[in-house]
Structure 1
Amino acid sequence: MRKAILGFAVVALITGFLFSQEYQGKGRIFGHVYDEGGKPVDGVKVKLLHVPTNGGFETATEKDGKWVGFGIRSGAWNIDFTKIGFVPKGISYTVNEFGKNPEIRVTLKKAEGLSVTDEMKSALAGANALFDERKFLEALAAYQALLAQYPDFYLLSKNIGNCYFAMEQYDKAEEAYANILAKDPANSEAMLLIGNTYTNRDQREKALEWYGKIQFDKINDPTVLYNIGTNFYNMSRFEDAAKYYGRAVELQADSVDALYQLGLTFISLQKNDEAVATFEKYLKLDHDSPRSAQVKSFIDTLRKK
Structure 2
Amino acid sequence: HCFKKGRRATFEDAPEMELFLKGNELFKEDKFEDAIASYQEFLEKNPEIYQVHFSLGNCYKEMGNVEQALKEYQIVIEKTTGEESKDRKLKAKALAGIGETYLKKDDLDSAQNYLRQSLDLNPEDEILAYNVGEIYFSHQRLEEAIEYYILATVIKPDWSEPYYKLGLVYLNKADNANAIENFEKFLELEPDSEKSVNVKNIIKYLKKDGGF
TM more than 0.5? yes
Write the mapping of 1:275-286 to structure 2, written as runs, cut at 5 A: 275-286=179-190
Partner Cα separation in structure 2 for residue 257 and residue 149 of structure 1: 43
| Aligned mate of 1:225, from 129, 133, 157 | 129
Q: Measured at CA, do residues 197 and 112 of structure 1 come closer, stay the same or move farther in structure 2, by a change above 3 Å?
A: farther
Listed as ranges, the gaps of 5+ residues in structure 2 are 82-87
Retained in 2: the 8 A contact 1:128–1:139?
no
Q: Distance in 1 between matches of 2:167 and 2:10?
A: 50
The residue type equivalent to 2:8 in the other structure is G
Q: Deviations over 1:162-200 (max 9, x none)?
A: 232343434322221111122236722210111122233
User: Where does 1:120-199 land on structure 2 (aligned, <5 Å)?
Assistant: 120-121=14-15, 123-133=16-26, 134=29, 135-184=31-80, 187-199=91-103
Structure 1: tracts of 5 or more residues without a match: 1-84, 86-110
CA 1:277–1:151 in structure 2 vs 1: closer, same or farther (change >3 Å)? Answer: same
**One-letter amino acid of the counterpart of residue 179, structure 1:** I
Relative to the length of structure 1, the TM-score reads 0.55
Written as runs of structure 1 = structure 2, the 5 A alignment for 1:95-134 is 112-114=7-9, 120-121=14-15, 123-133=16-26, 134=29
Measured in 2, the distance between the counterparts of 1:141 and 1:296 equals 50
Paired residues of 1:233 and 1:241 also in contact (CA < 8 A): yes
1:213 is paired with a residue of what secondary structure?
Answer: helix
Deviation (angstroms), 1:252: 2.5
Provide the identity percentage.
28
Alpha carbons of structure 1 residues 271 and 140: separation in structure 2 relative to 1, 3 Å:
same
Contact 1:131 1:163 in 2 (8 A): no
Task: Return the structure number with greater strand share.
Answer: 1
Q: CA RMSD in A?
A: 2.9
Residue 115 of structure 1 deviates from its aligned partner by 7.0
Q: Take 1:147 and 1:205, find their aligned partners in 2: how far apart are those partners? A: 33
Q: Deviations along 1:105-159, whole A, 9 cap, x unmatched?
A: xxxxxx95327797x42x2322322430444323322322443444332222112
Which protein has the bigger helix share? Answer: 2
Contact kept in structure 1, 2:127 and 2:152, CA below 8 Å: yes
Cα distance in structure 1, aligned partners of 2:187 and 2:147: 21
Q: Hey, what does 1:295 align to over in structure 2?
A: 199
Q: Is the 8 A contact 2:167 2:182 kept in 1?
A: yes
Within the alignment, does 1:239 sit opposite 2:143 as a pair?
Answer: yes
Structure with bigger gyration radius: 2
Equivalent residue of 2:117, what SS?
coil
For the 8 Å contact 1:239–1:269, the answer to whether it is kept is no
Worse-matched range after superposition: 266-275 or 236-245: 266-275
Aligned residue pair count: 194
**Please, which of 165, 178, 195 is the counterpart of residue 274 of structure 1?**
178
Bigger relative CO (Cα 8 Å, ≥ 6 apart): 1
Q: Distance in 1 between matches of 2:129 and 2:99?
A: 13
Letter in 1 for 2:17: L
Residue of structure 1 in register with 2:161 after alignment: 257
